Amino acid sequence: MVATQTASSLADIAARVEAGARLTFDEGVRLYASRDIHEIGRLANIVRRRLNGDRAYFNINRHINYSNFCVLRCKFCSFYRPYAKAGQASKVADLRLPQIGAPRDDGYELSLDDITARAREAYDAGATEVHIVGGLHPTLPFDFYLDMCRQIRAACPRICIKAFTAIEIIHFTRITRPRLSIRRVLEQLRDAGLDTLPGGGAEIFDDRVHDEVYQSKVGEQGWFDVHRTAHELGIPTNATMLYGHVERPEERIRHMVKLREQQDASLRTGTAAFNCFIPLSFIPDGSALADLPGPTGFDDLKTLAISRLMLDNIPHIKAFWIMQSAKLAQVSLNWGVDDLDGTVVYYDITKREGGAGNTHQELTVDQMRSLMREAGCRPVERDSLYRPVVRENGAWRLGGAA
Ligand code: V47
């Protein structure tokens, strides 16, 4: 009985989703207020199938976190290490490949050769993308990041270099002398080999939440300036939302609406736009907000599904299984999600066991495919632009329609 009542309370929204209408802010808030997770999932799946059929995408990628030194002190972050404190012991940790994943309680920064070796190792293992982000390092010059792109491009000619959150891009504008504009930073990175920008650093576009949790970080305007400029330059990007800490449902919906408006504008200019939206489930372990419980599975599923419903103009909704868990990410394929990131392999920024957790976090291609098939989806390996990848005799090429 209760289920029927709650379903009927969403009946008008259901009719509008079925008719292909765009949901309003108020409707988004009502979806969050509903406990009818089945109906929300059913509606999200209508939109998922409309946009992506029965395809579930994944890519063979490698995450590289080049340094955890950071000038910021965001309360949600368990990754950063203060530079001065770590510097007393060893400013530059020259981590050789076999040490990847070794527990450490100090800061590190990878050398350019290490970063390139990790990218090359991934490339040789079949990766089509490297996803590179780090803290805002206080002393590395902009040339370090340009050389990083150049060296990876030379070592891995066909790999997609997806690198640097909007926050890092703004940081680069501040460390150059004379200061470079966002446009010039992006142009120089693109000329050095950068292909796309990841969606990180968005958190929640709201002043209250910003001031409470990541006060000294570049806010919403800076994040949008970077992504808008990237789109104008023909550089595709992604977008994220970090949920499940101190924000309220209305603030999540407002975040989505702001992204939807930017996507409308980017699509109008026609050069590039957001490829996908990734809701990031807050992992409290090891952060200054470790006393918070973090989102529940119920909240994770609702958030992924509501994202699909609100962001009708962003083609893909991605579950980052590192944060939602592989099990829940699989379930989410029936709650609006059409993309799982990715094989990953190593990930430093969040570790379920807290700061001391192992950084080796990997799903194999076989695991990925069987998770997707079991969920009733057709697995499609994609490149960073969602073009199907075909593998033959140990090599890969872009295929036709998926
Ligand atoms: O920018 C930091 C977030 C982001 C925590 O673009 C946390 O394809 C949860 O942006 N709990 C990095 N989240 C990850 C990211 C990403 C991941 C996968 C794919 C893509 C893409 C982007 O993670 C950070 C920050 O917003 N984050 N700490 C935490 N404790």
In a domain, 5, yes or no: no
Widest CA span in the chain: 67
Residue 98 has pLDDT above 70, yes or no: no
Question: 166-175 and 220-232 helices cross at what angle (nearest 10)?
Answer: 90
d(CA 324, ligand 1 centre) in Å: 11
Give the whole-angstrom CA distance, residue 381 versus residue 12.
37
* Residue 378 β-bridge partners: 55
Tens of pLDDT along 131-162?
999 999 999 999 999 999 999 999 999 999 99
Residue 346: pLDDT over 90: no
CB 317 within 8 A of CB 329: no
CA distance 77 to 319: 20
Q: What is the CATH number of the domain that holds 101?
A: 3.20.20.70
CB of 203 sitting under 6 A from ligand 1: yes
DSSP H/E element including 241: strand 237-243
Q: Is residue 29 part of a domain?
A: no
Q: 338 C-alpha vs ligand 1 centroid, how far in Å?
A: 18
The reply to whether 90 falls in a domain is yes
**111 within domain boundaries:** yes
Is the pLDDT at 111 greater than 50? The verdict is yes
Q: How far is CA 315 from the centre of its chain?
A: 15
- Residue 260's nearest CA partner among 224, 226, 233, 289 is 224
Nearest CA to ligand 1 atom 6: 198
Instruction: Tell me which H or E stretch contains 319.
Output: strand 316-320
Q: How many domains does the chain have?
A: 1
Ligand 1 geometric centre to CA of 280 (Å): 6
Cβ(109)–Cβ(66) under 8 Å? yes
Which residue in this structure is represented by tokens 């970090």? 242
The answer, yes or no, to whether any atom of ligand 1 lies below 6 A from the CB of 238, is yes
Q: Is 178 exposed, middle or buried (0-12, 13-18, 19+ CB in 10 A)?
A: exposed
Residue among 171, 280, 339, 385 to mutate when testing ligand 1 (max atoms within 8 A of CB): 280
CB 371 within 8 A of CB 342: no
Specify the pTM: 0.93
pLDDT band of residue 357 (cuts 50, 70, 90) is low
- Is residue 392 domain-resident? no
pLDDT over 70 at 67, yes or no: yes
What residues pair up with 67 in beta bridges, in sequence order? 109
Q: Is 205 in the pocket of ligand 1 (CB under 6 A)?
A: no
Q: Best of 217, 328, 346, 349 to mutate for ligand 1, by most ligand atoms within 8 A of CB?
A: 349
Residue 188 — pLDDT band, cuts 50, 70, 90? Answer: very high
CA-CA-CA-CA torsion sign (121, 164, 340, 315): negative
Q: Tell me what pLDDT residue 350 has.
A: 76
Is position 7 within any domain? no
Confirm whether 72 is domain-assigned: yes
Rounded to an integer, what distance in angstroms lies between the CA atom of residue 25 and that of residue 256?
A: 9
pLDDT digits (tens, 9 = 90+) for 362-399: 888 999 999 999 999 999 999 999 999 999 998 999 98
> Do residues 227 and 267 touch, judged by C-beta distance below 8 A?
no
Give CA–CA dist 306/336, Å, rounded: 8
42 is a domain residue: no
Cis peptide before 178 (omega within 30 of 0): yes
Q: Which domain holds residue 363?
A: 49-384
Percentage of the chain modeled with pLDDT above 70: 91
What's the gap in Å between 282 CA and the centre of ligand 1?
A: 9
Rg (CA), the chain: 20
